[in-house]
Amino acid sequence: MTDKRNRWVINVVLILAVVAFVGFSLIPLIEAAFQGNQSKTATTSPTPTQSASAVPKKEELEAQAKGYELVLQREPENTTALRGLLEARLGLGDVKGAIVPLEKLAKLNPNETEYAVLLAQAKQQTNDPEGAAQTYRDILKTRPGDRNALQGLTNLLLQQKRPEAAVGLLQDTIKTAPQANKIQAGSVDVVSVQVILGQVYASQKRFDEAIAVFDEATKGNKQDFRPVLGKALILKEQGKTDAAKPLFVSAADLAPAQFKDQINQLANAPSPGASAPATTATPGVTPSPVPTTAPTSTP
């Protein structure tokens, strides 16, 4: 339970600041990566009916941080203390102070790339985009198909107004996937990378290219709802609601239970521009996103 709480706090403080780009969002990938579903957050996040005392006060968090720092003076590689210090500092809003424990946790747990991804995001939030990019690239050197790192670096490149660099990163990953998967089977999920690429194209209003990528992804796995949903969203964005409807139905049929309601809500939501002329639309408003993690099950 403690580990789950740590992951939830990290998720809330760092991950929810991920910048959504036009048409889609990056948040679901990270939420899924850290298993931040409702059942877990319900046990950790305070609700309106919970007492204020359930939320750690600043003084309590500072005391906790000091205690963990004392432990780490004696045992600098104590994972439990590092996690506790990380949680306390994030609870205090000290993202910069979270970098040191994250660096140590990433080094001590090289097979758990979540720590390295969080480190990259912390660096990004503390105005170190070069350090963030390098951290993402370090992950991808040994794990070229790591979806968290791919999505994080893609997001960073888009923030830097470098969409072609993002496209190139993802296209190169797809191109080299067969070789990577020969070395280590299943190391690159091509469909997941294609879904991210389709999102990038959509964010740049390159809808024909996005649809082509989603179509290609569907050929790669006809049981995967994500590219079907991606294409449906684009068609709806273009006002082609009749063409989008059967795709929403198909996506809902293919999707795991946790996504079905959201897909149905998307299908029934008003089409873009239905309530206002297109010229008055607000730039940057994003509909609900296509998940970029591979579904864990299918009906």
Distance CA 214, CA 226 (A): 8
For 11, the 3-state DSSP assignment is: helix
User: What is the model's pLDDT at position 11?
Assistant: 39
Q: What's residue 27's pLDDT? A: 33
Short-list 162, 220, 169, 154, CA closest to 190: 220
Question: What are the pLDDT digits (tens) for 187-231?
Answer: 999 999 999 999 999 999 999 999 999 999 999 999 999 999 999
Q: Is the pTM for the entire model greater than 0.95?
A: no
pLDDT score at 55: 57
The one-letter amino acid code at 172 reads D
231: nearest Cα among 199, 262, 260, 270? 199
Average pLDDT along the chain, 299 residues, taken 10 residues at a time: 46 32 30 33 43 68 94 95 91 90 94 90 92 96 93 94 97 96 93 94 93 96 93 92 95 92 89 44 37 51
The phi, psi pair for 24, rounded to 5°, reads -145, 170
Set out the domains of the chain in order of their start, with CATH numbers: 1-41+57-149 (1.25.40.10), 189-271+286-299 (1.25.40.10)
Nearest to 233 by CA among 282, 272, 196: 272
Q: What residue type is assigned to position 243 of the chain?
A: A
Say which DSSP state 18 is in.
P
116 near 106, Cβ under 8 Å?
yes
pLDDT of residue 57: 87
CB atoms within 10 A of CB 7: 21
Q: What count of other Cβ atoms lies within 10 Å of the Cβ of residue 163?
A: 17
Q: What confidence score (pLDDT) does residue 290 get?
A: 60
Tell me which residue of 263, 268, 31 sits closest to 148, measured CA to CA: 31
Q: Which pLDDT value is given to residue 10? A: 40
For 186, the 3-state DSSP assignment is coil
Q: Are 295 and 257 in contact (CB under 8 A)?
A: no
CA–CA separation, 211 and 232 (whole Å) = 9
